[in-house]
Structure 1
Amino acid sequence: MPCPLPRIAPLCSALLLGLAALFGATPALAQAERCPKLVADSPFLKHLAPRALPAAYVGPREVGLTYIGHSTFLIQTAGGVTAATDYNDYVRPSVVPRVATMNRAHSTHYSLNPDPGIEHVLKGWREDRDPLHYDLDIDDLWVGNLQTNIRDWQGQSILNGNSIFVFRAADLCIAHLGHLHHTLTQEDIGALGRLDVVLAPVDGSYTLDIDGMIEVLKALEAPVIIPMHYFNEGTLSNFLTRFAGQNYAIERRESPELVLSRQTLPRTPTVIVLPPGG
């Protein structure tokens, strides 16, 4: 249910939140109107592949995406806003991002000493485990989150310990699943809305098992899936082999950098493997 007109967006947003409360849907994402569920494919769009270009080159209506490593990506908008996912002290982009998102599972997903030049440090959890919701506009980038639970080393559940962060720029919705430990409910799927790109942990052990991750990715129906959080080629190949029968094309790229746009989303849902090292 999109809010197409800026003048009525506040009214539409209030209506959506009211409906969410009425039907018990997760109200964590105010972006229900920002990343609405719709068909990304269109017969009027010429099929093009996402381009492998330096992320510094981002034209109008495009978003740059660079795989830094582990669970860290650098997102860059046409307006020059940069965001780093699961920002930590071990794997960092070479530039200081304006936005850094974090998750609490392990120290490779957060930093206790983020660079002081970062304008917005967004932790995906609260120490008291209460819900935490972001609805942040930074120039031409919007950031929101949907919280999920995680396990501790003893297998006990930590309520609201992980956030799925959603980034919207150039009418593209990019979701970073973080350290996801369980499948998503229909309310979660509805709250996330339309997603165009999903950054998915595929280790199959520390996060969600492969069967569970496949279930989540099929439910999200994103045209582009980019694997992350794999520890070696064997781990990655196991996921790709299991996913090959799910009507997804699989592409391996030589560059860790992509430039994406709505016009170049693949017609066939595609897993794009990027090498780390941006």
Structure 2
Amino acid sequence: MKPHYLILAVTCLAAFAASDPAEALEQRQRASQCHAIAENMPRATFASFSVAAAPMPAVSEGENVRFTYLGHSTFEIETPGGIIIATDYNGWYRPATTPDVVTMNKAHTTHFTLTPEPDIKHVLHGWSDVPGEKASINLVVGDAYIRNVTTDIRFSYGLGGSQEDGNSIFIFEIAGLCIGHLGHLHYELTDTHYTEIGRLDVVMVPVDGGLTMGADSMSRVIKRLRSSLILPMHRRGPPVNAFVSMFGKDFDIAYAPDDSLTVSMRTLPKKPLIYVMKGVQ
């Protein structure tokens, strides 16, 4: 059975199982758009078709999403509806406007703060403070739907060992775009991770070459994700060229003169583009 037939069959089964046709329609609408198809990713399997997976964000009139690189691994993401999100927020790199949402990871203090400004409405930790549990984010804020996929981290400062689910890949579904921030990724992703992530049109990737993963390992992750737009971040140590050099003719490279970019589904590059913003170079 071909993949797209499988998707159709599962959708029809979900609709048939619901007692009310309107309920069936609502259930289909509540599924994550980034989980719809994973067939473009080599060796990947289909993501979960759970009908209760995700609520739908509000519809806004615009379609442009604006990215501004603030520093280290912090990006400001502005949705068409005006929602401001700051990634790996540590309180040092701040958007001009108080963000509505901040995400954090705990590998190093440069990726989180325990004292965020009280005006920030949604502070999302990429880790769980409950032993044996993992962070589970499933949140709609305005026209943005936010979820996470957890990964393990190494203990800091040469202590050895690792902590399960200490990092989260945050995924933002905005204006039809599937946007991923890899956080402080320490290990190559498994097939299960790729399945949970689904499609990513835009991905923010650490390119430090060692504090997270080496350039060769990180490049393998990016090649498999096959995102349209790759935004390097977290460059500390080797120049970004060490990461860029891992890619061949299947990827375009651009060095931006500024630190911001506006993109939509219609303006995504047709060929994967590594877009190096000012401040990362």
TM-score (norm 1): 0.80
In structure 1, what is the equivalent of residue 85 of structure 2? 83
In the alignment, which residue of structure 1 is the partner of 2:214? 209
RMSD: 2.6
Deviation, 1:129, is: 4.7
Higher relative contact order (CA 8 A, sep 6+): 1
Distance 1:260 1:253 in 2: 14
2:244 — aligned with what?
Answer: 240
2:98 matched to which residue of 1?
96
8 Å contact 1:37–1:195 — kept in the other structure?
A: no
Does residue 238 of structure 2 align to residue 223 of structure 1?
A: no
2:73 match: 71
In the aligned structure 2, how far is the partner of 1:259 from the partner of 1:160?
32
Structure 2 residue ranges without an equivalent (≥5): 1-6, 16-21, 41-59
CA distance in 2, matches of 1:97, 1:72: 12
Specify whether residues 129 and 86 from structure 1 end up closer, same or farther in structure 2 by C-alpha distance, changes over 3 A only: farther
Residue 185 of structure 1 is matched in structure 2 by 190
Alignment of 1:87-126 (within 5 A): 87-126=89-128
The count of corresponding residues between Structure 1 and Structure 2 is 242
Whether 1:8 and 2:24 are equivalent positions in the alignment is yes
From the CA coordinates, give the structure whose radius of gyration is larger: 2
> Which residue is 2:159 aligned to?
154
Q: Structure 1: give runs of 5+ residues left out of the alignment.
A: 15-29, 41-57
Contact 1:35 1:168 in 2 (8 A): no
Identity, in percent, stands at 39
Per-residue deviation, residues 66-117 of structure 1 (Å, max 9, x unmatched): 1111000000111110100000032222221000000000010001110111
Cα distance, 1:10 vs structure 2: 5.8
Secondary structure, aligned partner of 1:159: strand
Deviation per CA, 1:184-222, whole angstroms, max 9, x where unpaired? 111111111111000000111110111110111111110
Work out whether residues 148 and 160 of structure 1, in 8 Å CA contact, stay in contact via their aligned partners in 2: yes
Asked if the contact 1:183/1:213 (under 8 Å) is kept, the reply is: yes
**Structure 1 residue 170 and structure 2 residue 186: aligned?**
no
1:268 aligns to 2:268 (yes or no): no
Which residue, out of 181, 194, 197, partners 2:199?
194
Quote the residue 1:49 is aligned against: none
2:245 partner SS: helix
